[in-house]
Structure 1
């Protein structure tokens, strides 16, 4: 097995070679091998190597920290939803055990036109869980639905604009949905026309937004589509059962209609939402869970346990500063107020004492051990640190900001999650910020994840603890989030110089790797150091307790977190 960093470098090399051959480019989202990568001496490989044969009841008991907001591929935008989607459905390509995108619903590699604009996919004889065939029309319908403004897809415009022909114009309601560059040539031939050559396009085909949907089924369900287990069709390794759309538990069962069912070893996976580590550890010790995340003080306690696995991630967490709420400018529209808050909390203690799971302080947006230039140099070495903790500078910015606003105090709300760790973090932020910035009063709003998504979408917050795990391997996976009016911006940030730098990396700089990375570094500096549009907090690691008989789990460094397709039970006593 090769280290994840090797895969990253090979992915970059592959993408660059593909790009030069195509002589063009767009969103340089290098996605063939590994993206949300986690290189660590303890966890450079997937944590559970295949060892032994299935020799026990093929049933596992796992946990998630949040309920499922949605399993509609056009609507999913969260970690839990994409993880579920990845295990019950499948697109043209799927990430394999080495995190390489390979044909899945596609029977073979795509045929690509000489100009790099047209991709033709021949579909395999795959079936939905109702025993009907997966067809090219299923992809046409799903992609059109995801880009249709009426659907309100958060990822459709984000993933398709500038990539699929006419996607941008459709998302802006300047063209009809039927004009999207997708076509069913026949039942088993799907053709895609791109806006411009996109060298990473095939790797995008493993991402959940591009999964198929059967129109007849979706329309027959109406508003009930994807609201519970029976409101979905499945074409992946498992089907979802025992999910009522709101509950805190669900079950995966092997999908006997899946085209590769003979390689799926597990019969069932039972999942329960467990929001705090103490409960998760207790259930694990009582053999009611085979896998459990551990955070906070318990992470420090268990990280050296013989059954612990440290999983470094490339997810970065940060404060989002909302500059407009309810049609009115907020105090966070003031640059000095944002800079004051960004520099007023101690990140080392946050990582080492509050989180205590191997996570590291972040003075950046693009994570470490993630993106490398053509000389194998980490992007972080090029871009450096930004918004480093500095109380004196924070207080200077605070004083200036209050004077500019004509006030001597401010009340602000921090929007966070309702898990044990989220609550501890929020209390820490409140203590740090109120203690270091005189006149600041912080209230905490701690809500379930699905509620937080709604509040984010509606920009109904002041400061939000947010985070991003990349969907593909490239700095733009993070930096493209904050372009003006971007679908994931949702905080009214805008900087024309920043926008131009990001656009240049998709166009004229796409075949100039060194200049492209320089543009990314300039953009990150503008976003953080100059504008303090967001305030980085930490780069996440996970402490996982995993039973030794749980084999073959594949962790993905981008997109969905895990695949259970190859998992099995062996050696359980």
Structure 2
């Protein structure tokens, strides 16, 4: 999921891909979370909640919500609020495990390719319409229909749902997508190949249902404001338009499991500056605040201070099509080794983040047979090494026939992001003779557009997983993949991942061996330069309980949250 890294940083590493894979974040104060654990505190709630008697949680968000259209969402903020207001076949519970959503059970065929979901009959849209299997068929077809222009539809469904790639390529009609309604409350899904992680995949935002009649009635206005949205999840998004800097989530009384939902309202205000967020927290105005590195030292002994490890990884993307120098493997290898990552996580982030020397994060997924952590088995694939960086740089310049290189560094515009960007640019220019780096610092939505159009040289980016499998990270760099916006291509890499999803689909130990080999190929090519694995430091009001921090998908789950008095 694309992560709002500028905010993440500003939040002290909060969230949202850059690209998708899911993991996200929701507020500038909130810039932090933990992986799949509930946040719990004790004592009293905010003054506003006590006075009204309502269950109210007051939060901050690092930016506006780019879209509430599930077919068009690609970033952490969109998936965060889609997750709160919508519900798919399943939703994430504690420890990242799928729990009942609109589906209350499913069966899988012996060959693993046909999944039959039984839907509950008491689920309703916020306009009173029943949620049916037809809503899933329409939504999934819409997501892969080339006329829709969805980025995540073909990315998430291609190679998974039968005929998804052919439909998106215009080679087959949308009706041939492998999803059918057998009556109103039975959904039959055909897969291209057995997919071990498919149940967890159904919790992701791209697979949410849509009410066809409502969507088509709204036309181009769909999902641009509260009035042009429908909900079928625990909350309803209110007081929102696409440019809103504040909005609310209110309890959806028509939600099938409304009795479980304790919170009456969650308020949001866009705040990008960590100091402002902390000031609001100290004043009792908000219940959570993400901490930047300078604030960690000040608040590390505070009774509300917590540090949450995460599964999102950040790295430098190097566009091999826009700048001749970055098409050179030695130049990329030099850049990958020319900045001190340990100093960055210790001094700039200062929030428990870890140095990343590979792509798949630590403590994310174990090897199938030994149970060892994938990251530990794969090892350090690229480390800070100034001597080697200079050697690669010299070779690269000789191959290019030049003694200098100019690169534009696409960057976020928050205060903490600026510190990160300036540090990295300075490290690269100082350590690589003849390199000039020009920073281009822009708002998140603009950066998304520039990335989509591959209009950048180097970009600081991050990915949060969309499901519990190494493939959620490694498939980013498949040739011409939907998220491969940097021109990387390696036939061996593609083959290893294709085998993992096809001929080896039912042999998990063999799949993981292919993943190990693919990750090594990625770094032999110096395709990306890993920087760090996110953690977040924050202040969380005592009395707030039951918030689940997801290891993938929406950053936070509030269905089971409450505020004690």
1:427 maps to what in 2?
A: 422
- Three-state SS of the structure 2 residue aligned to 1:376 is coil
1:501 maps to what in 2?
A: 496
2:109 maps to what in 1?
A: 113
- Three-state SS of the structure 2 residue aligned to 1:253 is strand
Per-residue CA deviation, residues 65-118 of structure 1 (Å, 9 max, x unaligned), is 122111111111111111111000000111123432122111x21133333322
Contact 2:135 2:210 in 1 (8 A): yes
Q: TM-score, normalised by structure 1?
A: 0.89
Pair 1:478 & 2:473 matched = yes
2:353 maps to what in 1?
A: 359
Distance (Å, rounded) in 2 between the aligned partners of 1:46 and 1:481:
29
> Pick from 290, 294, 297: which aligns with 2:294?
297
1:89 maps to what in 2?
A: 86
The Cα of 1:44 is off from its aligned counterpart by: 7.9
The Cα of 1:547 is off from its aligned counterpart by: 0.4
Distance (Å, rounded) in 1 between the aligned partners of 2:424 and 2:494:
31
Superposition RMSD in Å: 2.1
Q: Call closer, same or farther: CA 1:424–1:489 in 2, change over 3 Å.
A: same
Aligned runs of 1:502-541 on 2, under 5 Å? 502-528=497-523, 530-541=524-535
> Pick from 374, 378, 401: which aligns with 2:373?
378
Greater RCO (Cα-Cα under 8 Å, separation 6 or more): 2
Distance (Å, rounded) in 2 between the aligned partners of 1:379 and 1:184:
38
Distance (Å, rounded) in 1 between the aligned partners of 2:42 and 2:117:
32
Distance (Å, rounded) in 2 between the aligned partners of 1:145 and 1:136:
14
Which segment drifts farther, 181-190 or 71-80? 181-190
Aligned runs of 1:406-485 on 2, under 5 Å? 406-485=401-480
1:232 maps to what in 2?
A: 229
Distance (Å, rounded) in 2 between the aligned partners of 1:398 and 1:317:
23
> Pick from 253, 256, 261: which aligns with 2:253?
256
Distance (Å, rounded) in 2 between the aligned partners of 1:380 and 1:92:
31
Distance (Å, rounded) in 2 between the aligned partners of 1:454 and 1:141:
27
Aligned runs of 1:156-235 on 2, under 5 Å? 156-235=153-232
The Cα of 1:512 is off from its aligned counterpart by: 3.8
Q: TM-score, normalised by structure 2?
A: 0.90
Contact 1:48 1:554 in 2 (8 A): no
- Three-state SS of the structure 2 residue aligned to 1:109 is strand
The Cα of 1:513 is off from its aligned counterpart by: 3.8
Which segment drifts farther, 367-376 or 46-55? 46-55
1:9 maps to what in 2?
A: none
Per-residue CA deviation, residues 297-343 of structure 1 (Å, 9 max, x unaligned), is 11233233210111100110000000113xxx532111111111111
Aligned runs of 1:313-332 on 2, under 5 Å? 313-325=310-322, 330-332=324-326
Q: Call closer, same or farther: CA 1:426–1:288 in 2, change over 3 Å.
A: same
Q: Call closer, same or farther: CA 1:521–1:97 in 2, change over 3 Å.
A: closer
The Cα of 1:469 is off from its aligned counterpart by: 0.8
- Three-state SS of the structure 1 residue aligned to 2:560 is coil
Q: Call closer, same or farther: CA 1:172–1:51 in 2, change over 3 Å.
A: farther
Per-residue CA deviation, residues 427-451 of structure 1 (Å, 9 max, x unaligned), is 1011111111111111111111111
For these two proteins, the number of residue pairs brought into alignment is: 529
Contact 2:195 2:505 in 1 (8 A): no
Gaps of at least 5 residues in structure 2 are 1-20, 25-33
The Cα of 1:155 is off from its aligned counterpart by: 1.5
Distance (Å, rounded) in 2 between the aligned partners of 1:79 and 1:364:
22
The Cα of 1:247 is off from its aligned counterpart by: 2.0
Q: Call closer, same or farther: CA 1:116–1:65 in 2, change over 3 Å.
A: same
- Three-state SS of the structure 1 residue aligned to 2:91 is strand
Per-residue CA deviation, residues 136-186 of structure 1 (Å, 9 max, x unaligned), is 211111000001122121211122112111111112221111110111222
> Pick from 39, 44, 47: which aligns with 2:39?
47
Pair 1:67 & 2:59 matched = no
- Three-state SS of the structure 2 residue aligned to 1:324 is coil
- Three-state SS of the structure 1 residue aligned to 2:362 is coil
1:281 maps to what in 2?
A: 278
- Three-state SS of the structure 2 residue aligned to 1:186 is coil
Distance (Å, rounded) in 2 between the aligned partners of 1:199 and 1:392:
43
> Pick from 340, 343, 352: which aligns with 2:337?
343
Contact 2:193 2:505 in 1 (8 A): no
Per-residue CA deviation, residues 423-476 of structure 1 (Å, 9 max, x unaligned), is 110010111111111111111111111111111111011001001111111211
> Pick from 240, 259, 262: which aligns with 1:243?
240
Pair 1:545 & 2:542 matched = no
Distance (Å, rounded) in 2 between the aligned partners of 1:92 and 1:239:
18
Gaps of at least 5 residues in structure 1 are 1-30, 37-41
- Three-state SS of the structure 2 residue aligned to 1:67 is coil
Pair 1:130 & 2:124 matched = no
Distance (Å, rounded) in 2 between the aligned partners of 1:432 and 1:65:
27
Contact 1:35 1:474 in 2 (8 A): no
1:399 maps to what in 2?
A: 394
- Three-state SS of the structure 1 residue aligned to 2:363 is coil
- Three-state SS of the structure 1 residue aligned to 2:439 is strand
Distance (Å, rounded) in 2 between the aligned partners of 1:212 and 1:51:
39
